[in-house]
Amino acid sequence: MDWLTDLSPFCSDRCWHFVLLARNAPVGLAIRRGPSKWWHLTLWNTRKDHFTGGQWFRGSLYPRKCDLAPDGSLFSYFAGKFQSSARQRGYDFTWVAVSRPPYFTALSLWPVGDTWGGHTMFLDDGAFHAGALKHHHPDHPPGPLRVVTHSYLNLDDPFLAAPPWARAGWKPIPLPERVKKQTYFDPLLSAWRKTEGNLCLERAVNRGEDSFPSHRPSRYTIYKLDAQTELARFEAHWADFDQRGRLVAAVGGRILEGKLDRHRGLRWRQLAGFQDDRPEPIKAPEWAQHW
């Protein structure tokens, strides 16, 4: 495929993606939203750029409360159906679950019931942190997980303010101390930054409440390492440096690789396009159904 300079036409796709990158393996998990309330998982081998489609889920999913295990073998997520049938089966309206990507089929599951909690986190020491205080569902035990639970009532708990990208090398850039909060959820940040080699990638943060990731593309800027010399700007639903140090991004239903050329500027090559995919029933294979 030809190299592209304008990604804006892809924003009209009826879906968008957020990607979790494993910290210790060449694995990514693309989380798709759309059409409507449908979600879909795609496993990405970032070494070979091989993509494996997984299950669809219709309901609510909260990507900023999800995580991917350091080796890419497990996916944790916070989801909900808000239906009485889910509550009657012991799942409650919302729940925290752990599965094998790219499948949603729960190995472990903890009912939550609201949307205040639900944060999840895999640590490098093997611990799994879950924002759920209720006992696990009897059909979905923790298995080998070493579980640490958290309460959203403890507002000073740093776990509650640790989105998945903070564990992937992104650093928050605070606003000046004199700036006051616009809303209760105002993070008081101007941006998030990540460095790779001699480059710095910055994502601007909206004041009031950082809604990233969402259907609205974010504004990214590439600087030289000094974070002063601007090299390029672009908008994307997600962007990062992958495990190979490449600039990669998701816009609409597309996953792309970016290259910064001294003479031609920033150009993009599409690695995969899922914009035409539609929901279909997919059963998880046997290896993804049990511990």
Amino acid at 188: L
Domain residue ranges of the chain, discontinuous segments joined by +: 8-288
pLDDT above 90 (res 141)? yes
* DSSP calls for 26-58: SEEEEEEE-STTEEEEEEEETTTTEEEEEEEEE
75-111 pLDDT, tens per residue? 999 999 977 666 667 788 999 999 999 999 999 999 9
- Which pLDDT score is estimated for 209? 65
Q: Residues 174, 150: contact at Cβ < 8 Å?
A: no
State yes or no: pLDDT of 18 exceeds 90: yes
pLDDT digits (tens, 9 = 90+) for 235-277: 999 999 999 999 999 999 999 999 998 888 999 999 999 999 9
Nearest to 83 by CA among 125, 37, 129, 118: 37
pLDDT at 149: 86
User: What pLDDT, on a 0 to 100 scale, did the predictor assign at position 89?
Assistant: 73
- Average confidence score pLDDT of the chain: 92
- Confidence at residue 86, expressed as pLDDT on a 0 to 100 scale: 63
Q: How buried is 282 (Cβ within 10 angstroms: 0-12 exposed, 13-18 middle, 19+ buried)?
A: middle
pLDDT, tens digit, for every residue of 116-130? 889 999 998 889 999
- Residue pair 18/9 in contact by the 8 Å Cβ criterion: no
Which region, left, alpha or beta, applies to residue 126 given φ > 0 means left and ψ of -120 to 50 means alpha? Answer: left
For 182-230, how does the pLDDT look when each residue is reduced to its tens digit (9 = 90+)?
876 777 889 999 999 999 999 999 876 678 999 999 999 999 987 689 9
DSSP state of 7: -
pLDDT tens column, 38-64 = 999 999 999 999 999 999 999 999 999
Cα separation of 142 and 137, whole Å? Answer: 9
Confidence band of 155 (pLDDT split at 50, 70, 90): low
For the stretch 4-35, what's the b/e string if a residue is b when 16 or more beta carbons lie within 10 angstroms of its beta carbon? beebeebeebebbbbbbbbbebbbbbbbbbbe
